[in-house]
Structure 1
Amino acid sequence: MARLDVTEMFNGISFPGHLHTQESLELALKFPFLDTDILIVSYPKSGTTWMQEMVSLISSRGDPHLIQTVPNWARAPWLEQYYCAAVLETSSTVPRVITTHLPHHLLGPALQGSRAKVIYVSRNPKDVVVSFYHFHKMANFLPDAGTFTEFLNRFLEGTLCFGSWFDHIKGWTSQTATVNNLLHITYEEMLLDLHGAIKRVSSFLQCPLVDEEVNNCVQHCSFSTMKNNKMVNYTMVPDDIMDHSKGSFMRKGKTGDWKNMFTEEQNQYFESTFKSKMQDCTLEFVWEVQDEEETHAKEKAV
Protein backbone atom coordinates (compact mmCIF):
# COMPACT_ATOMS: atom_id res chain seq x y z
CA MET A 1 0.00 0.00 0.00
CA ALA A 2 1.99 2.97 -1.25
CA ARG A 3 -0.36 6.02 -1.31
CA LEU A 4 2.75 8.14 -0.79
CA ASP A 5 1.07 11.36 -1.94
CA VAL A 6 -2.17 10.81 -0.02
CA THR A 7 -3.03 12.72 3.14
CA GLU A 8 -5.95 11.62 5.28
CA MET A 9 -7.81 14.34 7.19
CA PHE A 10 -9.39 12.90 10.31
CA ASN A 11 -11.06 14.95 13.02
CA GLY A 12 -9.21 18.04 11.80
CA ILE A 13 -5.77 16.35 11.93
CA SER A 14 -3.78 15.22 8.88
CA PHE A 15 -2.22 11.77 8.74
CA PRO A 16 0.05 10.33 6.02
CA GLY A 17 -2.07 8.11 3.77
CA HIS A 18 0.75 5.63 3.26
CA LEU A 19 -0.15 3.79 6.46
CA HIS A 20 -3.36 5.49 7.60
CA THR A 21 -6.88 5.15 6.20
CA GLN A 22 -10.19 6.56 7.39
CA GLU A 23 -11.15 3.01 8.37
CA SER A 24 -7.96 2.33 10.35
CA LEU A 25 -8.30 5.63 12.21
CA GLU A 26 -11.96 4.96 13.01
CA LEU A 27 -11.08 1.47 14.26
CA ALA A 28 -8.39 2.89 16.54
CA LEU A 29 -10.94 5.07 18.32
CA LYS A 30 -13.08 2.00 19.06
CA PHE A 31 -10.22 -0.32 19.95
CA PRO A 32 -11.10 -2.83 22.71
CA PHE A 33 -8.09 -2.49 25.01
CA LEU A 34 -7.26 -5.40 27.29
CA ASP A 35 -6.25 -4.76 30.89
CA THR A 36 -2.93 -6.46 30.14
CA ASP A 37 -2.07 -4.16 27.21
CA ILE A 38 0.89 -1.79 27.26
CA LEU A 39 0.31 1.37 25.21
CA ILE A 40 3.24 3.60 24.22
CA VAL A 41 2.05 7.11 23.37
CA SER A 42 4.03 10.00 21.92
CA TYR A 43 4.07 12.84 19.46
CA PRO A 44 6.38 11.86 16.55
CA LYS A 45 10.15 12.12 17.08
CA SER A 46 9.87 12.19 20.87
CA GLY A 47 11.54 8.90 21.75
CA THR A 48 8.90 6.45 20.51
CA THR A 49 11.35 3.97 18.99
CA TRP A 50 13.53 4.07 22.07
CA MET A 51 10.59 3.25 24.34
CA GLN A 52 9.53 0.40 22.05
CA GLU A 53 12.99 -1.12 22.47
CA MET A 54 12.97 -0.54 26.20
CA VAL A 55 9.57 -2.17 26.75
CA SER A 56 10.47 -5.11 24.49
CA LEU A 57 13.68 -5.69 26.43
CA ILE A 58 12.02 -5.33 29.83
CA SER A 59 9.30 -7.80 28.81
CA SER A 60 12.00 -10.30 27.77
CA ARG A 61 14.07 -9.56 30.91
CA GLY A 62 17.01 -8.19 28.93
CA ASP A 63 17.15 -10.98 26.35
CA PRO A 64 17.83 -9.27 22.97
CA HIS A 65 16.51 -12.12 20.79
CA LEU A 66 13.16 -10.44 20.11
CA ILE A 67 14.54 -7.01 19.24
CA GLN A 68 17.15 -8.57 16.95
CA THR A 69 14.74 -10.78 15.00
CA VAL A 70 11.37 -8.98 14.85
CA PRO A 71 10.91 -5.45 13.42
CA ASN A 72 9.66 -2.91 15.93
CA TRP A 73 6.50 -2.24 13.89
CA ALA A 74 5.59 -5.93 14.23
CA ARG A 75 6.22 -6.27 17.98
CA ALA A 76 4.78 -2.85 18.92
CA PRO A 77 2.46 -1.89 16.02
CA TRP A 78 0.93 1.56 15.61
CA LEU A 79 -2.72 1.34 16.61
CA GLU A 80 -3.96 3.79 13.95
CA GLN A 81 -2.10 2.22 11.03
CA TYR A 82 -3.95 -0.11 8.69
CA TYR A 83 -1.88 -3.25 9.36
CA CYS A 84 -2.26 -3.17 13.18
CA ALA A 85 -5.34 -5.36 13.44
CA ALA A 86 -3.74 -8.14 11.39
CA VAL A 87 -0.54 -8.04 13.47
CA LEU A 88 -2.41 -8.25 16.77
CA GLU A 89 -4.68 -11.00 15.45
CA THR A 90 -1.74 -13.26 14.66
CA SER A 91 0.24 -12.41 17.78
CA SER A 92 0.08 -14.58 20.86
CA THR A 93 2.35 -12.32 22.89
CA VAL A 94 1.11 -11.25 26.33
CA PRO A 95 1.21 -8.48 27.23
CA ARG A 96 0.53 -6.90 23.86
CA VAL A 97 2.63 -3.81 23.22
CA ILE A 98 0.88 -1.17 21.09
CA THR A 99 2.11 2.23 19.92
CA THR A 100 0.16 5.35 19.02
CA HIS A 101 0.63 8.99 18.02
CA LEU A 102 -3.05 9.81 18.55
CA PRO A 103 -3.93 12.72 20.85
CA HIS A 104 -5.80 12.07 24.09
CA HIS A 105 -9.02 13.78 23.02
CA LEU A 106 -9.38 11.15 20.28
CA LEU A 107 -8.12 8.01 22.04
CA GLY A 108 -9.05 8.77 25.64
CA PRO A 109 -12.64 7.47 25.37
CA ALA A 110 -11.43 4.03 24.19
CA LEU A 111 -9.17 3.79 27.25
CA GLN A 112 -11.87 4.69 29.75
CA GLY A 113 -12.48 1.83 32.14
CA SER A 114 -9.40 -0.04 30.94
CA ARG A 115 -6.48 -0.89 33.17
CA ALA A 116 -4.09 -1.00 30.23
CA LYS A 117 -0.78 0.56 31.18
CA VAL A 118 -0.01 3.77 29.26
CA ILE A 119 3.52 5.14 28.88
CA TYR A 120 3.62 8.71 27.55
CA VAL A 121 6.99 9.77 26.14
CA SER A 122 7.75 13.45 25.65
CA ARG A 123 10.72 15.46 24.44
CA ASN A 124 11.53 19.14 24.44
CA PRO A 125 9.72 20.61 21.44
CA LYS A 126 12.70 22.43 19.95
CA ASP A 127 14.46 19.11 19.37
CA VAL A 128 11.18 17.52 18.27
CA VAL A 129 10.69 20.04 15.46
CA VAL A 130 14.31 19.70 14.27
CA SER A 131 14.13 15.90 14.26
CA PHE A 132 10.72 15.94 12.54
CA TYR A 133 12.07 18.32 9.89
CA HIS A 134 14.97 16.01 9.04
CA PHE A 135 12.59 13.03 9.01
CA HIS A 136 10.31 14.79 6.52
CA LYS A 137 13.24 15.20 4.15
CA MET A 138 13.83 11.43 3.95
CA ALA A 139 10.27 10.11 4.37
CA ASN A 140 8.58 10.12 0.97
CA PHE A 141 5.18 9.50 2.57
CA LEU A 142 5.26 12.87 4.34
CA PRO A 143 4.58 16.26 2.68
CA ASP A 144 7.50 18.34 1.45
CA ALA A 145 9.23 19.95 4.43
CA GLY A 146 9.94 23.27 2.71
CA THR A 147 12.42 25.55 4.43
CA PHE A 148 13.06 25.14 8.12
CA THR A 149 11.37 28.49 8.77
CA GLU A 150 8.24 27.31 6.95
CA PHE A 151 8.32 23.99 8.78
CA LEU A 152 8.78 25.66 12.18
CA ASN A 153 5.82 27.92 11.50
CA ARG A 154 3.62 24.94 10.63
CA PHE A 155 4.79 23.14 13.78
CA LEU A 156 3.90 26.12 15.97
CA GLU A 157 0.55 26.48 14.19
CA GLY A 158 -0.20 22.78 14.71
CA THR A 159 -0.80 22.09 11.01
CA LEU A 160 1.81 19.37 10.44
CA CYS A 161 0.83 15.71 10.17
CA PHE A 162 -0.32 14.35 13.56
CA GLY A 163 -1.53 17.78 14.65
CA SER A 164 -0.48 20.16 17.39
CA TRP A 165 2.40 19.19 19.66
CA PHE A 166 0.98 21.57 22.28
CA ASP A 167 -2.46 19.91 22.30
CA HIS A 168 -0.87 16.46 22.29
CA ILE A 169 1.37 16.92 25.30
CA LYS A 170 -1.13 18.89 27.35
CA GLY A 171 -3.90 16.41 26.59
CA TRP A 172 -1.97 13.35 27.71
CA THR A 173 0.05 14.77 30.63
CA SER A 174 -3.05 16.38 32.16
CA GLN A 175 -4.22 12.81 32.88
CA THR A 176 -1.28 11.88 35.12
CA ALA A 177 -2.83 13.46 38.21
CA THR A 178 -6.00 11.36 38.00
CA VAL A 179 -4.98 8.18 36.15
CA ASN A 180 -2.69 5.84 38.09
CA ASN A 181 -1.98 3.58 35.11
CA LEU A 182 -0.24 6.34 33.13
CA LEU A 183 3.51 6.95 33.35
CA HIS A 184 5.05 10.09 31.87
CA ILE A 185 8.74 9.77 31.02
CA THR A 186 10.91 12.11 28.98
CA TYR A 187 13.48 11.57 26.26
CA GLU A 188 15.88 13.64 28.34
CA GLU A 189 15.44 11.33 31.35
CA MET A 190 16.32 8.35 29.18
CA LEU A 191 19.32 10.17 27.75
CA LEU A 192 20.65 11.32 31.10
CA ASP A 193 20.06 8.11 33.06
CA LEU A 194 19.07 5.15 30.88
CA HIS A 195 19.67 2.72 33.77
CA GLY A 196 17.28 4.65 36.01
CA ALA A 197 14.70 5.04 33.26
CA ILE A 198 14.65 1.30 32.64
CA LYS A 199 14.16 0.60 36.34
CA ARG A 200 11.35 3.16 36.49
CA VAL A 201 9.54 1.67 33.49
CA SER A 202 10.03 -1.92 34.68
CA SER A 203 8.59 -0.98 38.07
CA PHE A 204 5.59 0.68 36.42
CA LEU A 205 5.03 -2.44 34.29
CA GLN A 206 5.30 -4.58 37.45
CA CYS A 207 8.15 -6.47 35.88
CA PRO A 208 11.03 -5.99 38.35
CA LEU A 209 14.47 -6.85 36.99
CA VAL A 210 17.65 -7.96 38.72
CA ASP A 211 20.78 -5.88 38.13
CA GLU A 212 22.13 -8.11 35.37
CA GLU A 213 18.84 -7.89 33.46
CA VAL A 214 18.79 -4.09 33.81
CA ASN A 215 22.37 -3.92 32.54
CA ASN A 216 21.46 -6.06 29.54
CA CYS A 217 18.54 -3.74 28.77
CA VAL A 218 20.87 -0.74 28.99
CA GLN A 219 23.36 -2.36 26.63
CA HIS A 220 20.82 -3.36 24.01
CA CYS A 221 18.76 -0.16 23.93
CA SER A 222 21.62 2.32 23.91
CA PHE A 223 21.43 4.68 20.95
CA SER A 224 24.53 3.26 19.30
CA THR A 225 23.16 -0.30 19.50
CA MET A 226 19.77 0.72 18.12
CA LYS A 227 21.40 2.66 15.28
CA ASN A 228 23.07 -0.57 14.11
CA ASN A 229 20.03 -2.82 14.58
CA LYS A 230 18.16 -3.23 11.28
CA MET A 231 15.03 -4.32 13.19
CA VAL A 232 14.70 -0.80 14.54
CA ASN A 233 16.74 1.60 12.34
CA TYR A 234 14.29 1.35 9.40
CA THR A 235 16.99 0.43 6.86
CA MET A 236 14.73 -2.47 5.80
CA VAL A 237 12.17 0.05 4.50
CA PRO A 238 12.54 0.43 0.69
CA ASP A 239 14.18 3.59 -0.63
CA ASP A 240 11.06 4.66 -2.51
CA ILE A 241 9.28 4.96 0.84
CA MET A 242 12.16 6.22 2.97
CA ASP A 243 15.11 7.71 1.07
CA HIS A 244 18.12 6.64 3.14
CA SER A 245 20.46 8.69 0.93
CA LYS A 246 18.89 11.82 2.43
CA GLY A 247 19.49 10.95 6.04
CA SER A 248 19.38 8.37 8.79
CA PHE A 249 16.25 7.51 10.78
CA MET A 250 18.43 7.15 13.89
CA ARG A 251 20.15 10.49 13.44
CA LYS A 252 22.02 11.84 16.49
CA GLY A 253 20.24 10.79 19.67
CA LYS A 254 21.14 14.05 21.38
CA THR A 255 19.38 16.83 23.21
CA GLY A 256 20.14 20.42 22.25
CA ASP A 257 20.60 19.89 18.51
CA TRP A 258 18.05 22.67 17.98
CA LYS A 259 20.88 25.12 18.69
CA ASN A 260 22.43 24.07 15.38
CA MET A 261 19.24 24.92 13.46
CA PHE A 262 17.46 27.81 15.15
CA THR A 263 18.37 31.39 14.29
CA GLU A 264 18.00 33.94 17.07
CA GLU A 265 14.87 35.26 15.40
CA GLN A 266 13.36 31.77 15.13
CA ASN A 267 14.17 31.09 18.76
CA GLN A 268 12.49 34.31 19.89
CA TYR A 269 9.38 33.48 17.85
CA PHE A 270 9.35 29.95 19.28
CA GLU A 271 9.73 31.23 22.85
CA SER A 272 6.88 33.73 22.52
CA THR A 273 4.55 31.12 20.98
CA PHE A 274 5.58 28.51 23.55
CA LYS A 275 4.92 30.91 26.43
CA SER A 276 1.49 31.77 25.07
CA LYS A 277 0.36 28.20 24.34
CA MET A 278 1.83 26.64 27.50
CA GLN A 279 0.84 29.28 30.03
CA ASP A 280 -1.67 26.91 31.64
CA CYS A 281 0.84 24.01 31.75
CA THR A 282 3.27 23.44 34.63
CA LEU A 283 5.56 21.00 32.82
CA GLU A 284 9.26 21.82 32.87
CA PHE A 285 11.51 21.01 29.92
CA VAL A 286 15.19 20.20 29.68
CA TRP A 287 16.60 21.91 26.61
CA GLU A 288 20.08 20.43 26.62
CA VAL A 289 21.78 17.52 28.43
CA GLN A 290 24.77 15.25 27.96
CA ASP A 291 23.88 11.60 27.45
CA GLU A 292 25.55 8.82 29.41
CA GLU A 293 27.65 7.60 26.48
CA GLU A 294 29.06 11.07 25.84
CA THR A 295 29.76 11.60 29.53
CA HIS A 296 31.54 8.25 29.81
CA ALA A 297 33.59 9.01 26.70
CA LYS A 298 34.75 12.29 28.22
CA GLU A 299 35.56 10.59 31.52
CA LYS A 300 37.70 8.01 29.72
CA ALA A 301 39.52 10.74 27.83
CA VAL A 302 40.57 12.50 31.03
Structure 2
Amino acid sequence: MKIKPGSKGGVKAVILCPTRELAAQTVRECKKMAKGRKYYIKLMTNDLSKSGNFKDMHCDILVSTPLRLDHAVKKRDLDLSSVEYLVLDESDKLFELGFVEVIDSVVEACSNPSIIRSLFSATLPDSIEALARTIMHDAIRVIVGRKNSASSLIKQKLIFAGTERGKLLALRQSFQESLNPPILVFVQSKERAKELYKELAFDDVRADVIHADLTEQQRQDAVDNLRAGKTWVLIATEVIARGMDFKGVNCVINYDFPESAAAYIHRIGRSGRAGRSGEAITFFTEEDKPFLRNIANVLISSGCEVPSWIMALPKLKRKKHMVTRDPISTIPDED
Protein backbone atom coordinates (compact mmCIF):
# COMPACT_ATOMS: atom_id res chain seq x y z
CA MET A 1 0.00 0.00 0.00
CA LYS A 2 1.20 3.48 -0.82
CA ILE A 3 -0.80 5.55 1.63
CA LYS A 4 0.56 8.79 2.98
CA PRO A 5 0.40 8.70 6.79
CA GLY A 6 -1.89 11.24 8.41
CA SER A 7 -3.45 12.16 5.08
CA LYS A 8 -6.68 14.12 5.16
CA GLY A 9 -9.85 13.34 3.26
CA GLY A 10 -11.19 10.26 5.00
CA VAL A 11 -10.36 6.57 5.28
CA LYS A 12 -7.79 5.39 2.72
CA ALA A 13 -7.75 1.63 3.33
CA VAL A 14 -10.33 -0.85 4.63
CA ILE A 15 -9.49 -4.39 5.79
CA LEU A 16 -12.42 -6.80 6.31
CA CYS A 17 -11.99 -9.85 8.56
CA PRO A 18 -14.51 -12.62 9.36
CA THR A 19 -14.10 -12.46 13.16
CA ARG A 20 -13.51 -9.81 15.81
CA GLU A 21 -10.43 -11.63 17.10
CA LEU A 22 -8.80 -11.63 13.67
CA ALA A 23 -9.70 -7.95 13.18
CA ALA A 24 -8.06 -7.05 16.51
CA GLN A 25 -4.96 -9.08 15.60
CA THR A 26 -4.76 -7.34 12.22
CA VAL A 27 -4.79 -3.93 13.89
CA ARG A 28 -1.95 -4.97 16.20
CA GLU A 29 0.14 -6.20 13.28
CA CYS A 30 -0.57 -3.08 11.22
CA LYS A 31 0.58 -0.89 14.10
CA LYS A 32 3.79 -2.91 14.42
CA MET A 33 4.55 -2.48 10.72
CA ALA A 34 3.68 1.22 10.86
CA LYS A 35 5.90 1.93 13.88
CA GLY A 36 7.74 5.21 13.47
CA ARG A 37 5.23 6.52 10.94
CA LYS A 38 2.16 8.54 11.85
CA TYR A 39 -0.53 6.29 10.48
CA TYR A 40 -3.95 6.45 12.10
CA ILE A 41 -5.06 2.82 12.35
CA LYS A 42 -8.43 2.03 13.93
CA LEU A 43 -10.44 -1.05 14.86
CA MET A 44 -14.18 -0.80 14.25
CA THR A 45 -15.45 -1.72 17.71
CA ASN A 46 -19.10 -2.14 18.60
CA ASP A 47 -19.16 1.25 20.33
CA LEU A 48 -17.48 3.00 17.41
CA SER A 49 -19.88 1.39 14.94
CA LYS A 50 -22.96 2.52 16.87
CA SER A 51 -21.92 5.92 18.24
CA GLY A 52 -18.71 7.05 16.56
CA ASN A 53 -18.24 10.59 15.27
CA PHE A 54 -16.94 9.66 11.84
CA LYS A 55 -16.91 13.19 10.44
CA ASP A 56 -14.13 14.22 12.84
CA MET A 57 -12.37 10.83 12.93
CA HIS A 58 -8.75 10.70 11.80
CA CYS A 59 -8.22 7.31 10.19
CA ASP A 60 -5.93 6.08 7.43
CA ILE A 61 -6.54 2.33 7.81
CA LEU A 62 -9.82 0.94 9.17
CA VAL A 63 -10.11 -2.74 10.17
CA SER A 64 -13.54 -4.25 10.75
CA THR A 65 -15.86 -7.21 10.52
CA PRO A 66 -18.43 -6.86 7.70
CA LEU A 67 -21.56 -6.25 9.77
CA ARG A 68 -20.02 -3.55 11.95
CA LEU A 69 -18.68 -1.68 8.95
CA ASP A 70 -21.97 -1.98 7.07
CA HIS A 71 -23.83 -0.63 10.11
CA ALA A 72 -21.49 2.36 10.34
CA VAL A 73 -21.97 3.13 6.65
CA LYS A 74 -25.76 2.84 6.66
CA LYS A 75 -26.65 4.13 10.12
CA ARG A 76 -23.77 6.45 11.03
CA ASP A 77 -22.94 7.98 7.63
CA LEU A 78 -19.38 6.67 7.48
CA ASP A 79 -17.94 7.93 4.19
CA LEU A 80 -15.81 5.38 2.33
CA SER A 81 -15.70 7.18 -1.01
CA SER A 82 -11.99 8.01 -0.60
CA VAL A 83 -10.88 4.44 0.10
CA GLU A 84 -7.96 3.49 -2.15
CA TYR A 85 -7.46 -0.10 -0.96
CA LEU A 86 -10.10 -2.67 0.03
CA VAL A 87 -8.73 -5.92 1.49
CA LEU A 88 -10.79 -9.04 2.21
CA ASP A 89 -8.82 -11.28 4.58
CA GLU A 90 -9.80 -14.95 4.84
CA SER A 91 -11.98 -14.17 1.85
CA ASP A 92 -13.35 -17.69 1.41
CA LYS A 93 -14.75 -17.65 4.94
CA LEU A 94 -16.22 -14.18 4.45
CA PHE A 95 -18.24 -15.46 1.50
CA GLU A 96 -19.08 -18.77 3.18
CA LEU A 97 -20.50 -17.08 6.26
CA GLY A 98 -23.23 -15.44 4.20
CA PHE A 99 -21.74 -11.97 4.05
CA VAL A 100 -22.20 -11.67 0.27
CA GLU A 101 -24.87 -8.95 0.44
CA VAL A 102 -22.97 -7.06 3.14
CA ILE A 103 -19.73 -7.23 1.17
CA ASP A 104 -21.56 -5.99 -1.93
CA SER A 105 -22.80 -3.06 0.15
CA VAL A 106 -19.27 -2.25 1.36
CA VAL A 107 -17.89 -2.53 -2.17
CA GLU A 108 -20.56 -0.10 -3.36
CA ALA A 109 -19.72 2.33 -0.54
CA CYS A 110 -16.03 2.21 -1.51
CA SER A 111 -16.86 4.08 -4.70
CA ASN A 112 -13.42 5.43 -5.61
CA PRO A 113 -13.00 4.47 -9.31
CA SER A 114 -9.26 3.91 -8.77
CA ILE A 115 -9.70 1.55 -5.81
CA ILE A 116 -7.56 -1.60 -5.61
CA ARG A 117 -9.30 -4.69 -4.21
CA SER A 118 -7.33 -7.61 -2.78
CA LEU A 119 -8.47 -11.00 -1.49
CA PHE A 120 -6.32 -13.22 0.75
CA SER A 121 -6.85 -16.81 1.87
CA ALA A 122 -4.97 -20.08 2.32
CA THR A 123 -7.73 -21.83 0.36
CA LEU A 124 -10.12 -20.63 -2.32
CA PRO A 125 -12.57 -23.25 -3.62
CA ASP A 126 -13.71 -22.83 -7.21
CA SER A 127 -17.27 -21.90 -6.19
CA ILE A 128 -16.05 -19.17 -3.85
CA GLU A 129 -13.52 -17.93 -6.40
CA ALA A 130 -16.29 -17.54 -8.98
CA LEU A 131 -18.29 -15.54 -6.45
CA ALA A 132 -15.29 -13.39 -5.56
CA ARG A 133 -14.68 -12.56 -9.20
CA THR A 134 -17.98 -10.67 -9.27
CA ILE A 135 -16.27 -7.87 -7.33
CA MET A 136 -12.87 -8.21 -9.00
CA HIS A 137 -11.93 -6.78 -12.38
CA ASP A 138 -8.84 -7.81 -14.37
CA ALA A 139 -7.72 -9.74 -11.30
CA ILE A 140 -4.19 -11.10 -10.93
CA ARG A 141 -3.79 -14.36 -9.00
CA VAL A 142 -0.71 -14.78 -6.82
CA ILE A 143 -0.12 -18.24 -5.32
CA VAL A 144 2.50 -18.81 -2.62
CA GLY A 145 3.42 -22.50 -2.46
CA ARG A 146 0.92 -25.05 -3.79
CA LYS A 147 -2.74 -24.13 -4.11
CA ASN A 148 -5.03 -25.57 -1.43
CA SER A 149 -2.24 -27.46 0.34
CA ALA A 150 -0.72 -27.52 3.82
CA SER A 151 2.80 -26.53 4.81
CA SER A 152 5.44 -29.23 4.43
CA LEU A 153 6.81 -28.11 7.82
CA ILE A 154 3.83 -29.70 9.58
CA LYS A 155 4.09 -33.38 10.55
CA GLN A 156 0.58 -34.73 9.97
CA LYS A 157 -0.89 -37.83 11.57
CA LEU A 158 -4.27 -39.61 11.35
CA ILE A 159 -5.35 -41.61 14.42
CA PHE A 160 -8.28 -44.03 14.43
CA ALA A 161 -10.14 -43.73 17.73
CA GLY A 162 -13.14 -45.92 16.91
CA THR A 163 -15.81 -44.04 18.84
CA GLU A 164 -16.39 -40.67 20.50
CA ARG A 165 -15.37 -42.19 23.84
CA GLY A 166 -12.25 -43.50 22.15
CA LYS A 167 -11.29 -39.98 21.06
CA LEU A 168 -11.35 -38.75 24.65
CA LEU A 169 -9.16 -41.66 25.73
CA ALA A 170 -6.77 -41.02 22.83
CA LEU A 171 -6.51 -37.34 23.76
CA ARG A 172 -5.75 -38.14 27.39
CA GLN A 173 -3.16 -40.68 26.32
CA SER A 174 -1.52 -38.14 23.99
CA PHE A 175 -1.25 -35.64 26.84
CA GLN A 176 0.19 -38.28 29.18
CA GLU A 177 2.84 -39.36 26.67
CA SER A 178 3.98 -35.93 25.51
CA LEU A 179 2.26 -32.67 26.34
CA ASN A 180 4.18 -30.12 24.27
CA PRO A 181 2.33 -26.82 24.66
CA PRO A 182 1.01 -24.57 23.33
CA ILE A 183 -1.63 -26.81 21.76
CA LEU A 184 -4.79 -25.93 19.83
CA VAL A 185 -7.67 -28.41 19.94
CA PHE A 186 -10.46 -28.04 17.37
CA VAL A 187 -14.04 -29.23 17.78
CA GLN A 188 -17.03 -28.77 15.50
CA SER A 189 -19.35 -26.77 17.77
CA LYS A 190 -19.38 -24.46 20.77
CA GLU A 191 -21.35 -27.04 22.77
CA ARG A 192 -18.62 -29.61 22.24
CA ALA A 193 -15.98 -27.01 23.09
CA LYS A 194 -17.66 -26.46 26.47
CA GLU A 195 -17.90 -30.22 27.10
CA LEU A 196 -14.26 -30.91 26.27
CA TYR A 197 -13.12 -28.00 28.43
CA LYS A 198 -14.89 -29.56 31.44
CA GLU A 199 -13.12 -32.87 30.78
CA LEU A 200 -9.67 -31.28 30.61
CA ALA A 201 -10.36 -29.11 33.66
CA PHE A 202 -11.28 -32.30 35.54
CA ASP A 203 -7.89 -33.72 34.50
CA ASP A 204 -6.13 -30.57 35.84
CA VAL A 205 -4.87 -29.68 32.37
CA ARG A 206 -4.15 -25.96 32.08
CA ALA A 207 -6.75 -25.43 29.38
CA ASP A 208 -9.01 -22.64 28.19
CA VAL A 209 -11.83 -22.43 25.68
CA ILE A 210 -12.97 -19.89 23.12
CA HIS A 211 -16.47 -19.89 21.61
CA ALA A 212 -19.22 -17.55 20.48
CA ASP A 213 -21.07 -17.45 23.83
CA LEU A 214 -18.15 -15.69 25.56
CA THR A 215 -17.85 -11.93 25.70
CA GLU A 216 -15.36 -10.23 23.43
CA GLN A 217 -13.07 -9.60 26.42
CA GLN A 218 -13.27 -13.23 27.59
CA ARG A 219 -12.35 -14.45 24.12
CA GLN A 220 -9.42 -12.06 23.90
CA ASP A 221 -8.23 -13.09 27.38
CA ALA A 222 -8.25 -16.75 26.31
CA VAL A 223 -6.10 -15.95 23.29
CA ASP A 224 -3.73 -13.75 25.31
CA ASN A 225 -3.32 -16.40 28.02
CA LEU A 226 -2.23 -18.99 25.45
CA ARG A 227 0.24 -16.56 23.92
CA ALA A 228 1.64 -15.71 27.36
CA GLY A 229 2.01 -19.38 28.37
CA LYS A 230 -0.54 -19.13 31.18
CA THR A 231 -2.57 -21.91 29.56
CA TRP A 232 -1.22 -24.89 27.65
CA VAL A 233 -4.26 -25.95 25.66
CA LEU A 234 -6.86 -23.81 23.89
CA ILE A 235 -10.08 -25.45 22.69
CA ALA A 236 -11.74 -23.68 19.77
CA THR A 237 -14.05 -23.96 16.79
CA GLU A 238 -12.61 -23.50 13.31
CA VAL A 239 -14.57 -20.30 12.59
CA ILE A 240 -13.38 -18.57 15.78
CA ALA A 241 -9.72 -19.39 15.19
CA ARG A 242 -9.69 -18.70 11.42
CA GLY A 243 -6.63 -16.67 10.49
CA MET A 244 -5.44 -16.16 14.05
CA ASP A 245 -1.67 -16.13 14.46
CA PHE A 246 -0.90 -18.11 17.61
CA LYS A 247 2.87 -17.74 17.62
CA GLY A 248 4.80 -20.86 18.57
CA VAL A 249 1.91 -23.35 18.49
CA ASN A 250 3.61 -26.74 18.56
CA CYS A 251 0.64 -28.96 17.91
CA VAL A 252 -2.87 -28.80 16.47
CA ILE A 253 -5.29 -31.57 17.41
CA ASN A 254 -8.41 -32.09 15.32
CA TYR A 255 -10.51 -33.68 18.03
CA ASP A 256 -13.49 -33.57 15.67
CA PHE A 257 -12.81 -34.47 12.06
CA PRO A 258 -12.85 -31.33 9.87
CA GLU A 259 -15.86 -30.78 7.65
CA SER A 260 -13.77 -30.26 4.50
CA ALA A 261 -10.22 -30.28 3.14
CA ALA A 262 -10.21 -26.47 3.25
CA ALA A 263 -11.20 -26.48 6.92
CA TYR A 264 -8.42 -29.00 7.60
CA ILE A 265 -5.79 -26.81 5.92
CA HIS A 266 -6.86 -23.73 7.88
CA ARG A 267 -6.94 -25.60 11.18
CA ILE A 268 -3.50 -27.17 10.98
CA GLY A 269 -2.10 -23.95 9.55
CA ARG A 270 -2.11 -22.51 13.07
CA SER A 271 1.06 -24.60 13.53
CA GLY A 272 4.20 -24.61 11.40
CA ARG A 273 4.24 -20.83 10.94
CA ALA A 274 7.13 -18.46 10.20
CA GLY A 275 9.49 -21.28 9.27
CA ARG A 276 8.88 -23.31 12.45
CA SER A 277 8.05 -27.00 12.41
CA GLY A 278 4.73 -28.17 13.79
CA GLU A 279 2.53 -31.20 14.31
CA ALA A 280 -1.09 -31.94 13.42
CA ILE A 281 -3.03 -34.90 14.86
CA THR A 282 -6.46 -35.77 13.50
CA PHE A 283 -8.75 -38.24 15.25
CA PHE A 284 -11.33 -40.13 13.21
CA THR A 285 -14.10 -42.57 14.04
CA GLU A 286 -16.06 -45.16 12.04
CA GLU A 287 -18.49 -42.40 11.04
CA ASP A 288 -15.65 -40.31 9.62
CA LYS A 289 -14.14 -43.06 7.45
CA PRO A 290 -16.10 -42.23 4.26
CA PHE A 291 -14.60 -38.73 4.31
CA LEU A 292 -11.00 -39.73 5.01
CA ARG A 293 -9.80 -39.62 1.43
CA ASN A 294 -10.44 -35.88 1.03
CA ILE A 295 -8.12 -35.16 3.95
CA ALA A 296 -5.63 -37.85 2.91
CA ASN A 297 -5.14 -36.06 -0.41
CA VAL A 298 -3.92 -33.01 1.52
CA LEU A 299 -1.44 -35.14 3.48
CA ILE A 300 -0.04 -36.65 0.29
CA SER A 301 0.32 -33.25 -1.40
CA SER A 302 2.33 -32.15 1.65
CA GLY A 303 4.69 -35.12 1.44
CA CYS A 304 3.17 -37.15 4.29
CA GLU A 305 2.59 -40.91 4.15
CA VAL A 306 -0.96 -42.26 4.06
CA PRO A 307 -2.03 -45.93 4.41
CA SER A 308 -2.98 -47.48 1.07
CA TRP A 309 -6.41 -48.57 2.32
CA ILE A 310 -7.41 -44.94 2.84
CA MET A 311 -6.49 -44.03 -0.74
CA ALA A 312 -8.52 -47.03 -1.93
CA LEU A 313 -11.69 -45.51 -0.45
CA PRO A 314 -14.18 -44.23 -3.05
CA LYS A 315 -14.13 -40.56 -3.99
CA LEU A 316 -17.01 -38.50 -2.66
CA LYS A 317 -18.79 -35.81 -4.63
CA ARG A 318 -19.72 -33.97 -1.45
CA LYS A 319 -16.91 -31.68 -0.35
CA LYS A 320 -18.31 -31.08 3.14
CA HIS A 321 -19.81 -33.17 5.87
CA MET A 322 -20.91 -32.75 9.47
CA VAL A 323 -21.29 -35.92 11.52
CA THR A 324 -23.87 -36.02 14.31
CA ARG A 325 -21.76 -37.01 17.31
CA ASP A 326 -22.42 -38.43 20.75
CA PRO A 327 -21.76 -36.00 23.64
CA ILE A 328 -18.21 -35.73 24.95
CA SER A 329 -19.09 -35.30 28.62
CA THR A 330 -18.37 -38.14 31.04
CA ILE A 331 -18.54 -35.91 34.12
CA PRO A 332 -21.97 -35.63 35.82
CA ASP A 333 -23.42 -32.12 35.99
CA GLU A 334 -23.32 -30.51 39.40
CA ASP A 335 -26.66 -30.03 41.11
Structure number with higher helix proportion: 1
RCO (CA 8 Å, sep 6+): is it higher in 1 or 2?
1
* Common fold: TM-score over 0.5: no
Q: TM-score, normalised by structure 2?
A: 0.30
Task: Give the structure with higher Rg (CA).
Answer: 2
Q: TM-score, normalised by structure 1?
A: 0.33
